[in-house]
Amino acid sequence: MISAFVDLPAGPVGHQFELTGWVRGIAPADVSVHIAGRPTTLREREGAPQGAAGWAAHTTQPVPNGVQPVRVFGPAGELLLEEIVVVGSNEGDDPLALVELDGPAPDAEVTGDLVLVTGWAMLNSRAPSMVEVFVEGSGVTRARTRLPRPDVGAAFPDFPDAVVSGFEARVPVDIPPGGARRVSIRVRLTTHGVGEWTSPTRFVTVRNPAGDAADELLADELEAQSLSLLEGVRDRRDPKHVLVLTHSLAIGGGQLWLQELLTGLVKKHDWRATVVTPVDGPLRDDCAALGVPVHLTSHYRIGDIASYEGHVSELAMIARASGAGVALVNTLGAFSAADATKRAGLPTAWVVHESFELADFSFQNWGPAGLAPAVKQRWERSLGTVDRLLFVADATREMFVGHSTPQRCRTIRYGTPMVRFGGRISEHRRREARERLGVPKDALLLLNVGVVEPRKGQAGLIAAAERVRHVAPNLVVAIVGQHPTPYGLALDDLVARGGLEESVRLVPIQRDPTPWFHAADLFVNASDIESLPRSILEAVCCGLPVLASDVFGAREMIEDGRTGWLFEPNNADALTVALLRALDTPAERRREFADNAFAKLSDWLEPTGYADEYSDVLSEIANQGER
């Protein structure tokens, strides 16, 4: 007679472990042991009862937390015994932590004035709710979490969160050019109800290189040559002609904002416009329909001072020859365009949408070394010399006012054409939208609209939604803005690994996402960086109650507990609590929140309003000439 036995551990085990047991009536070669549905590596061992054959089974891959089956099979796959083993930690013990700090390496030398801390982590098999980074002298920085890690996903195939287990934090360090400092780094992981884990301390040296004196001399020489060339260009200015220099005509929030502004300026205020851009896209057709010519140029050349000066000179010649009487520069990264228009003698308004400190923005766009010091000086100088810095949120204006003067900084909040819906969608229109989109009638539809990217926090939203499913089993999350980037592909993998295809819909980027706003019940903005999230405005215009991360312009639109719910960014626990608060709020009260939000924002939701303000600003600086 065949029999089998497993010697089960007295308590929980770690992610990789060995179990022992014995069989009687068959040879060890005929035995196989599966743990958590996967075969193990089996070896014979001594110490079994008389007449029995002992074995030891070792897991071949890490096993996720939870109650996991142990199955012993005999010849021809016959199941001899089934038991369970608990993977996890004892109550009061630290959680099981799988962590790797990729960088900076211990005792590394970091170049620049910012430390990038990266790695991946899981606590009890799931991505932590919050990752905090401690860099000596810089306080605590909350890392951006749930970043794509396909390598970790491949190494841990049974862990759904492994594909989004990455984290990163960009921590500025106050070191003057030419200075260096040795600093300590620690990382703390936290998840409510699970526990926390803190990494060992490591040390690095941060060295901020001094500027090259030869570069600075060359920059001045090339700038003088540029100004000399410009003197030979005939200057004919039309004060009702605006030269617009923008980063791209592809589909995106900043680009759609500009297109609506151009429409208002041209059609309502009779402006002429010319657009200069390094990136072509479908919005060029929209410009053509407005009668706005588009000049395509090369990408902004900022790698070294010679390339920078050459490109700025070309843009300045275009600006001087365009006949425009005023310039409008769109986005923070277009600083070479602002430099060029001022050299050309054009009064310039510069629209800054991005709520990033300069060191952080530089690191994200141009790498650890950042900009060459001479180029960075021109970036900072341009912020201080343009005639107006324009922002969509007061918080962003406050961030940049130190680079200019309060008199030159102004907030002009934008509106949205969706104001036509008046803050309420009829039940008939809602049903039509759901039928069109294939959303079940009884679903509680949670909507997020925005290009899928790490700063938008969509992976954290998926995690929080799954954590509240016990109180909302009919919850469906629609994320509109999916595209095949590494982050987008990681979300696809996350949904597939978790078996979430029925409850999470990843919808491609939509030129017009209006039907989704009509079909939804709640709107969530989970970003960790925003200025004035356009999608929140659209949700409010469609009568949706809003949950928003408490960042920059979001807090200027949503008042917690009255017009919506706010939560801390980069904290899945905080987002989970906000969802629970919203779900616990009666439908009538949620309707009141939405009405309050529309009433609060109604004064500036009309899109023609900001076209009026921009027309006034451009006219003012065009007519006053150079400062």
The percent helix, strand, coil of the chain (3-state, each to 5) is 35, 30, 35
Least Cα distance to 412 among 615, 620, 621 occurs for: 615
Instruction: Give me the torsion for CA of 381, 386, 387, 392, rounded to 10°.
Output: -110
Take residue 573 and report the two structure tokens written for it.
């626990």
Write the CB contacts of 494 (distance below 8 Å, at least 6 apart in sequence): 160, 161, 163, 164, 459, 462, 500
Tens-place pLDDT, residues 337-368: 999 999 999 999 999 988 888 888 888 888 77
Q: What is the pTM of this model?
A: 0.86
Dihedral sign, Cα of residue 28, residue 31, residue 34, residue 40: positive
Distance of CA 371 to the CA centre of its chain: 23
Residue 418, φ and ψ in degrees, nearest 5: -70, -5
Place of tokens 């329909």: 289
Q: If DSSP states are collapsed to H, E and C, what string results for 121-137?
A: EEECCECCCEEEEEECC
Tokens of 203: 């040390």
Residue type, 84: I
Nearest-angstrom CA–CA distance, 229 and 233? 7
Q: Which residue has the tokens 């809602």?
A: 430
Residues of the chain with pLDDT under 70: 232-233, 369, 625-627
Q: For strands 79-87 and 97-103, give the pairing.
A: unpaired
Place of tokens 């408490």: 550
- Answer for the pair 223, 309: CB distance below 8 angstroms, yes or no: yes
Beta partners for residue 547, in sequence order: 524, 565
Contact 319, 344 (CB under 8 A): yes
Residues 118 and 147: their CA atoms lie apart, in Å, by 10
Could you report the per-residue pLDDT of 528-564, keeping only the tens digit for each? Answer: 988 888 899 999 999 999 999 999 889 899 999 999 9
Distance CA 462, CA 613 (A): 39
For helices 305-321 and 335-343, angle between their N-to-C axes, nearest 10 degrees? 50
